[in-house]
Amino acid sequence: MVDEEAEIIRAVLGGDVDRYAALVDRYQGVTIRLAFTMLGNYEDARDIAQEAWVSAYRALGSFQGRAKFSTWLYRIVVNKCKDAGKRRAHQPAIVGRVGVPDADTDAAETLFVDPEDPTANPSAHAANHELSRQLSAAIRTLSSHQRTVFVLHHLHGLALDAVAEIMECRVGTIKSHLFRATEQLRRRLSPWI
């Protein structure tokens, strides 16, 4: 797959821009899921993923191939999410809403994880949903670095060295953030464990 991606990148840089669609098709869902787990809002995640794809296209000539394309793309998505978080911090808080809040899009109800068990009875299903809510709320309380490391490693299944590459730091730093995140989540979720 890496050789195929390298060939696609060479073709795009050589002027066959239609080949870029193959990369988008391959990673579009992953970029949206990553942005969603970072931001907690689906519409924002779609916007950020789109921005990341445009940025990746514009910077494709600077892709050196030392890392996998997906790792390079994840770094772009993470950086776009950080930028979005900074923009949000400078915006005034919303003090009221018109209409009834929609539980599917309300940030307070956003689920990062959903441990669904299709064979569960209704009470087990309700308990799983509540656990999902509690875990998602706990993940939202983590610092930006801890949340990013936790999400990339545990929810997206990336190896620690890939997370370090995405976050542009040492593996030891990633391990430290992951340890602190895990400890904080363990303390917050002790009533549920």
Decide if 155 contacts 138 (C-beta within 8 A). no
Q: What is the rounded average pLDDT of the residues 145-159?
A: 89
pTM for this prediction: 0.67
pLDDT at 94: 36
Q: What value does the mean pLDDT take over residues 167-177?
A: 93
Q: What is the mean pLDDT of the chain?
A: 81
Determine the pLDDT at residue 131: 74
Rg (CA), the chain: 19
* DSSP assignment string, 85-113: HHHHHTSPPP---SSPPPTTT-GGG--S-
Out of 11-20, 93-102, 106-115, the most confident range is: 11-20
